[in-house]
Amino acid sequence: MSKKLISFLLVLIALGHFRAQDKAEKALEVFSEKYPQEKIHLVFNKKNYIAGENLWFKSFVFDGYELSPVSTSLFVELYDSNKIQISKKIFPLVNGQGNGNIMLPESMKEGIYYVRAYTTWMANFNEDFQTLRPIIVYNPSSPQKLVPDDHEKWTASAYPESGTFIDGINTKFAVRLQSKGLTPSDWSGYVVDAEKPDVKITSFKGFDQNVGAFSLTPKTGKKYRLIVNDTKGNQQTLDLPSVSDSGIHLQVTSTNEAVKFSLQSKNIAPGTVYKVIAMMSNQLVFKVKSVKILEQSYSIPTNQLINGILQLTVFDEKENVLAQRLCFVQPDQLKIKKPALQSLSLNEAPRASNSFTIGQSPDDEGYSVLVLDGNSESSEDENSLLSTLWLTGDIRSKIYTPAQYFTPNHNSEALDALLLTETWKRFDWKTIMAGTYPTISYQPQPYISYKGKVSIQGKPAPNTAMNLLFNMPDKGIKLYQVKTDANGFFSLRGLIFEDAIKFSYQLNDPKIPKEQVQVIFQPDYAFIPFKGSLPSSNYILADRAAEDQPTAEVKRYMVTKSTQSSINEKATLIEEVKLIKSAKDKTRELNEKLSGPLFQGANETVFDFVNDNNNSAQGFQNVLQWLQGRVAGLTLEMDMGNYIPKLRGSTVSIYLDEMRIDPSQVSTISTSDIAMIKVIKDYFAGGFGGGGGGAIAIYTRRGGITGSVSNSTVPSKLKQITLNGFDKETPFVSPVYGNDNFNSISQDLRTTLYWNPNLQAQPKEPSTVQFFNNDEAKSYKVIIMGFDSKNYTPVYYNESIK
């Protein structure tokens, strides 16, 4: 959660008796500032797969309740049920979002597999908070098949509100079901006095497959038992906690207007000072400390809070934790920005063209769009973007279909009961108040980073200048210079490229023979071994009989797999690029033509002086003046008569045709000579240690000549190095019916009709989605996701349309 959000949350503290910070508040402030908590949501292009298919995914990485600025690389791994790693890949994150694919090998046996996703920063904390998503992979040729595990026994646990059960105080209990397989959907329970087992004191019916609730006012000396039954005759009996004759009980009610709480007590000495702290995402939002706290109720207004989990903790005078409670803020008033679908042109005829537009929204940076056959299931049906953001990203216990708690017809009473069974596990109060915080072993590196060491005749080469030469198609040879430190080391940070990149190197000193020079590179990032256990699934493997036939779903996947192979073969490269909606526009082509590999930034703003009308720049003597106001966060300061550009308060370097220049030289550049200006707001490798604050790169209409090596044979005469970058995503290809290349496809049963993880929002016009029907669909399931960073609000649409 950003500091901007903190500023208006802390206003609520004035409702309490706030004095100097105590130990808990200080510890919480340190933890919040120094240990941001990332969590990841993955959405797949469909729910289940067949061996030999591609799995495409989109990732959202959050820090609390906003997109995370911490990490720029996402590590994705695939495991089988025996925890054997099948695949591992790394993908870039831009403003907390990324996408990619995993090829599921043809040889995979039918079973449950697990997609693990994490950032290096997340590896510093409890491994349970990393993302582990089970997927079903079918394979009709496997000797075993998957069947639902509905024979596994379930267990029930009872949780009194705030963890206390005190004589004479009415207490709400939540009953939680857990199982390695499926829990029952229809179940109930009742409470009896152990001495009178035939008399029911209270009864209840489960809300869902996770939880139920009841209330009970206990009496000292009584022993209470809970009996839980399902409709199949299974039963479990458990003793409720012993009744205490003294203590403090925290009661909480969450409504759309406020979170109300009170402290009930029994046999507590008067004059004792208690403190209640409320926090969201590890940040303080409310505090009250008083000797009269037991005498009144309190209300935390929710009009300035966001949706999410609120934790209330009760402390005594010595700051011991007496009671805790989790609840959800505004459970029946979910702040979701729902995109507007417009200009619907739908045709249910086989292979017909369909389209719609997403209404203009200036706050949205872009959307992820998935269109499925209306009868198909999505990974969002079980764990949605909303449930990850607001629930499972911070609650790691097994929850059956957590997405159900944030649908339009959700049961907020069930959600409250679910949270009553949970505790906040991002940190432990006692531990952080003792000054013990997580050990940071992994720092978030900017994109792809490498360490290099230069040696001459086997000895380190300190403070040595070395040239790196990149031979780029259509760009000529780009030359960059690096310098080693006192131990002969240098680093390349913020590299953004896919697959592999080759370059040559030579020392600046021509007297040193190249045979005596050795450069060794090693990645400055690493995949982190998975130490934990895989979660249980709702399926087991059973032997496949010779007469067993594939299910209708598997048959469909088999046909789709064959169809997709035919689609891929028939699509030419040009058509494929067109199909995935990534046709290069002129500005992108210019950027790729002029920019070298070290001047690629994931977060960059490009001004095209060749294809766009930027004539207004000609009215400025210094192009930096023209840039101000056109780039968010860019300011200018005058120093010795020169304009010094700054981004977010940090001075940025200026480059002319990728050669660093002094700010005084910018005024000598005529705007008529400029082909492109690029403002990089993030790490980029061309900065060589100084690239963390970004750059302003100016390219002239002869861009690529300055700073280039004219002799194209030079690299071949030098030693070459190959570095691996991000894994390249396989394009998602859909047919374009009406095109002769696709008309010969015999059968089309695709479940995924459209997949675009990066549909750019248009600033002045709606964004268009076009797709072609399969042979059967009569309705379409449309899922649109994004995030409004200005209002800390998820953008979400998940509905069927006809």
Least confident of 160-169, 308-317, 642-651, 696-705: 696-705
CB of 645 within 8 A of CB of 624? yes
User: For residue range 458-491, what is the model confidence (pLDDT) as tens digits?
Assistant: 899 999 998 888 866 656 677 888 899 999 999 8
Highest mean pLDDT among 107-111, 465-469, 740-744: 107-111
Residue-level pLDDT at 279:
96
Q: Give the pLDDT band (50/70/90) at residue 14.
A: very low
Residue-level pLDDT at 581:
42
Q: 51 and 108 in one domain?
A: yes
User: For residue range 158-198, what is the model confidence (pLDDT) as tens digits?
Assistant: 999 999 999 999 999 999 999 998 999 999 999 999 999 99
Highest mean pLDDT among 115-129, 139-153, 659-673: 115-129
Q: 132 and 97 in one domain?
A: yes
What is the residue-wise DSSP string for 141-168?
TSSEEEEE---S-EEEEEEEGGG--BTT
Six-digit token string for 538: 């709702």
- The domain that contains 92 carries what CATH number? 2.60.40.1930
**∠ at Cα 302 (300, 308), nearest 5°?**
105
Average pLDDT over every residue of 300-316: 94
**Contacts of 213 by beta carbon, 8 Å cutoff, 6+ apart:** 172, 173, 174, 175, 204, 207, 413, 417, 420
Does a structural domain hold residue 696? yes
Q: 45 and 105 in one domain?
A: yes
pLDDT for 295 beyond 90: no
From CA 22, how far away is CA 3, in angstroms rounded?
21
**Contacts of 233 by beta carbon, 8 Å cutoff, 6+ apart:** none
Q: How far is CA 64 from the centre of its chain?
A: 10
From CA 399, how far away is CA 130, in angstroms rounded?
16
The total number of structural domains that make up the chain: 2
Average pLDDT over every residue of 84-96: 95
Does a structural domain hold residue 766? no
pLDDT for 583 beyond 50: no
Does a structural domain hold residue 298? no
Q: 128 and 48 in one domain?
A: yes
pLDDT for 362 beyond 80: no
Residue-level pLDDT at 679:
92
Q: 552 and 477 in one domain?
A: no
Does a structural domain hold residue 699? yes
Which residue type occupies 148?
A: P
Which residues are 250's β-sheet partners? 263
Question: Residue written as tokens 């070395």?
Answer: 466
Q: 51 and 100 in one domain?
A: yes
Q: 614 and 709 in one domain?
A: yes
Give the number of other Cβ atoms within 10 Å of residue 408's Cβ. Answer: 8
Instruction: Kindly tell me the sign of the dihedral angle through the C-alpha atoms of 28, 29, 34, 35.
Output: positive
The mean pLDDT of the chain is: 88
Q: 678 and 555 in one domain?
A: no
Higher pLDDT, 156 or 1: 156
Average pLDDT over every residue of 766-774: 93
Least confident of 32-46, 105-119, 294-308, 510-524: 510-524
Q: 534 and 508 in one domain?
A: no
Does a structural domain hold residue 162? no
Highest mean pLDDT among 129-133, 679-683, 761-765: 129-133
Six-digit token string for 343: 């200009």
Does a structural domain hold residue 508? yes
Q: 691 and 545 in one domain?
A: no
Residue-level pLDDT at 574:
38
From CA 161, how far away is CA 172, in angstroms rounded?
6
Q: Which of 662, 691, 726 is the last residue of a domain?
A: 726
From CA 746, how far away is CA 369, in angstroms rounded?
27
Q: 517 and 463 in one domain?
A: yes
pLDDT for 697 beyond 80: yes
What is the residue-wise DSSP string for 168-190?
T--EEEEEEEEESSPPPSSEEEE
Which residue type occupies 665?
A: Q
Helices (H), 411-518: 412-420, 429-433
Query: Which contacts of 610-618 are long-range, i.e. CB under 8 A and separated by 24 or more positions?
Result: 610/586, 610/675, 610/676, 610/701, 611/586, 611/587, 612/587, 617/671, 617/674, 618/671, 618/672
Q: Give the pLDDT band (50/70/90) at residue 685.
A: confident
Does a structural domain hold residue 551? yes
CB of 199 within 8 A of CB of 184? no
Task: Please state, for a pLDDT cut of 70, what percent of the chain lies above it.
Answer: 91
Residue-level pLDDT at 630:
86
Instruction: Give the pairing type, strands 719-724 and 517-523.
Output: unpaired
From CA 503, how far away is CA 685, in angstroms rounded?
14
pLDDT for 55 beyond 60: yes
User: For residue range 504-540, what is the model confidence (pLDDT) as tens digits?
Assistant: 888 888 788 878 888 888 888 889 999 999 998 989 9
From CA 272, how far away is CA 295, in angstroms rounded?
12
Owning domain of residue 462: 446-524+602-620+653-726
Give the 3-state secondary structure percentages of the chain, helix then strand then coil, rounded to 5: 15, 40, 40
Q: 539 and 473 in one domain?
A: no
Does a structural domain hold residue 324? no
pLDDT for 9 beyond 70: no
Average pLDDT over every residue of 277-283: 94
